[in-house]
Amino acid sequence: MPIAFGTAYECLFTAGHLAEGQTVLIHAGAGGVGMAAIQLAKRAGATVISTASSDEKLERLAAFGLDHGINYAAESFVESVNQLTGSQGVDIVIDSIGGQNLVDSVGVLAYRGRLVSVGTAARAGSAIEARSLWTRNNALHGVFLGAAILAEYPRIHPMIGDMLERVAAGELRVVIDRSFPLADAAAAHEYAESRKAFGRVVLIP
């Protein structure tokens, strides 16, 4: 919980400066950080768009606050987002995939939009041309919760505490898809990498 919700908070509010009434695109919405970000963004008054690998996952994400879902396996998220926003784009993109996905995300940013890079699930580098950000005065931010914990502990510690209290009160939900004994760690990794999971995959010592 602390990593998923703490990271989502940093992406949306510390790096993304999300405000009520804005629109956010969250890639990989069925993952831990994605699911946390959908809930936090919706409760902040944002319009929430997310990508996932299946229509089934997108349908389930509606219960967490998703307004518009995009099946990236069946359609271009760039075309879909621009259609949804009338080519105005979104205020914030949270990208945990990296590679070409991060590069393509520049194409859905609104004027002064913020692109937040928080992972490389695609296991590929991203060669973003700086000039691609100039046209709409966009910004690219990197987020790593571990660095923030070390450098800004007095701020991060109570923020994580607040997230824990909101989960305990039932306002925010943590979804565990499957649990594996530690001896089956290889199977757990294989399942996580299969993109079948909806929420977290947990190893039990």
Residue 160 contacts residue 183 (beta carbons within 8 Å): no
Kindly report which listed range (19-23, 44-48, 67-71, 120-124) carries the lowest average pLDDT score.
120-124
Element (H, E) at 109: strand 109-117
Report the CATH number of the 2-147 domain: 3.40.50.720
pLDDT digits (tens, 9 = 90+) for 139-198: 999 999 999 999 999 999 999 999 999 999 999 999 999 999 999 999 999 998 888 899
Considering the entire predicted model, what is its pTM?
Answer: 0.94
Which one-letter DSSP state was computed for residue 100? Answer: H
- What are residue 114's DSSP bridge partners? 92, 139
41: nearest Cα among 116, 148, 152, 97: 116
Tokens standing for 120? 């490389």
pLDDT digits (tens, 9 = 90+) for 58-109: 999 999 999 999 999 999 999 999 999 999 999 999 999 999 999 999 999 9
State the average pLDDT over residues 13-27.
98
Residue 16 contacts residue 37 (beta carbons within 8 Å): no
User: For the chain, what is the total number of helices (H) and then of strands (E)?
Assistant: 8, 8
Domain borders along the chain are 2-147, 177-205
